[in-house]
Each structure stands twice: as C-alpha cells, then as structure tokens.
Structure 1
Amino acid sequence: MPYPKSSTVDWDNSDYRFASPYPHMEGVVPLSAGQNLKEGSVLGKVTATGEYVLSCRTKENGDLVTDGSEKPSVVLLRDCDATDGDKQPAVYLTGHFLTTFLKLGRGHTFPSVKDALRANNIFYGFPVT
C-alpha cells in the first residue's frame, strides 16, 4: 500500500465534495469483488478478510450486518468497478465532505454513521443554499 497522501484543499465552496478546507488524506484499500461503487461511497472493513465493502447497517433480508463492515471508515475517491475481481481503489482516509457527495449503504443514515466516521476523522456537512 502506498504511503497516504495528505493535502489541504484549496477550498472553493463550489467543490461538490468538500464542506470545508479541512485537510484530507488519501490512501489505497482492498475492495472485495462483486461491487460497482460510485465515488463518495462510504466503505467499511470486513474483519475476517480485511477487505472493504459498501458499509451497510442491514442486509437485504433486514438482518443486521455484523461482519465489521457496518462500521464505516473510509470514503471512495473515484468510481470503482470491482464486479469481476478485487480492486485496490484510492480512498479518502480523512476529510470534511458534503452530504450530497457521500453515498451511504442500506440501513445507514447520517446520524447512524456519525460516530464511526468521526473516530476516523471523517466529517460531513450539509450544503448551504
């Protein structure tokens, strides 16, 4: 895994990703196969494999997710199609993002992810209109 990149955002309030000039760090994580995710997807780590998936609070059948990935920890930097195999996409490890940029998985709401994201220095803000 390459050393994480760090930068402060030359912030422009018209940027569709960032809510403030809070610094962000970028890194690379292993993404499990079988997913086609958009930039801004909030990912969680599956404890047993160490791979990342879209962080969901509930499964399709309504049961709670309990594999570790229910705790969101990083944000996908660019679209990533891992439909046919594992990938190593770039992610944001820290940052202050607009809610309109973040894509939450099934069962998650902004209040449900707030503490887990804050623990990783990932914050969100609502767009000012």
Structure 2
Amino acid sequence: MAYEKAGFVQGDPSANKTLLARTDGVTTRKVTILAGRVLDAGAVLGKITTGGKYILSLSAASDGSQAPDMVLAQDVDASSEDVEAIAYETATVVASALTIGTGHTLASIREGLRVKGITIDD
C-alpha cells in the first residue's frame, strides 16, 4: 500500500479543531486499519499484537488492541480491505470528539494514552 492511499491532505489545522484541543505538539503516523470496519476520526485505536494493524480499542479484547494506543485523525472506510490512515501519536484531543470502544470510559483510557503522548481535554 502506498502512503498516498492514506488520504491525508495538507491543509488548515483548524479543520480538525473539533478533535484537537490544541494544534501545537501534534505528531502523526501512518497506520493500517484492519479490513472489516468503518471508523470515524477520533476513534481510539488499539494495535493488534500479531500483524501490527489497528482497530477500535475494546476493553474485552485479548489480541493487544484492548490497550488504547492512538487516535484516528481521519474518517476511514476499511469495510472491504485494509486501509492506510493517519493517526495522532501525540496530541491534545477533545473528549467529546472521541469514539471509545465498548467497555472503555474516559477514565479507563486517559492514563494509557497520556503515557503515549495523547492528553484528553474535557
């Protein structure tokens, strides 16, 4: 998969203001979203240990993805195939803009994301 398929467009950072509380200190990384899902920007992602692909983090998962790792920076339709996308590696995100998987709460994801460089602004 080419990086160009990630669909990231350089533009005004204010376009993400509903997801980002601040635009300074933001770093992104290309990730692969596992086929079979459609995710909105703001989805809290977990990394599957085997293969390293990302899905929505669910607290009951046992494949490694139960640990919140990143926040998706763009809408992704991976319904038919794996898709490369951009995710926030470090950022301050707005709590109400996050999509949190089943079994997680803001309290349960806050510390795990903070140690990775993602803080949540309530």
Whether these two folds match at TM > 0.5 is: yes
Distance in 1 between residues matched to 2:50 and 2:119, nearest whole Å: 27
Written as runs of structure 1 = structure 2, the 5 A alignment for 1:87-106 is 87-106=83-102
The corresponding residue for 2:74 is 78
- Amino acid paired to 2:49: T
The corresponding residue for 1:31 is 33
- How many percent identity over aligned positions? 32
For residue 45 of structure 1, the aligned residue among 47, 51, 64 is 47
Choose between structure 1 and 2: higher strand proportion. Answer: 2
Structure 2: gaps (5+ residues): 4-11
Q: Aligned with 1:30: secondary structure?
A: strand
Number of residue pairs the alignment of both structures matches: 112
Query: Shift of the alpha carbon at 1:112?
Result: 0.4
- Amino acid paired to 1:51: K
Instruction: For residues 12-44 of structure 1, give each alpha carbon's deviation from its aligned partner in whole angstroms, at most 9, with x where no partner exists.
Output: xxx312223541101101110000000100100
Distance in 2 between residues matched to 1:29 and 1:85, nearest whole Å: 14
The corresponding residue for 2:110 is 114
- Amino acid paired to 2:46: G
Distance in 1 between residues matched to 2:51 and 2:23, nearest whole Å: 34
Distance in 2 between residues matched to 1:39 and 1:65, nearest whole Å: 21
- Amino acid paired to 1:123: T
Choose between structure 1 and 2: higher helix proportion. Answer: 2
Q: 1:81 to 1:10 in 2, by over 3 A?
A: closer
Structure 1: gaps (5+ residues): 3-8, 58-63
Distance in 2 between residues matched to 1:110 and 1:35, nearest whole Å: 22
Measured on the aligned residues, the alpha-carbon RMSD in Å equals 2.1
Q: Decide which structure has the larger Cα Rg and report it.
A: 1
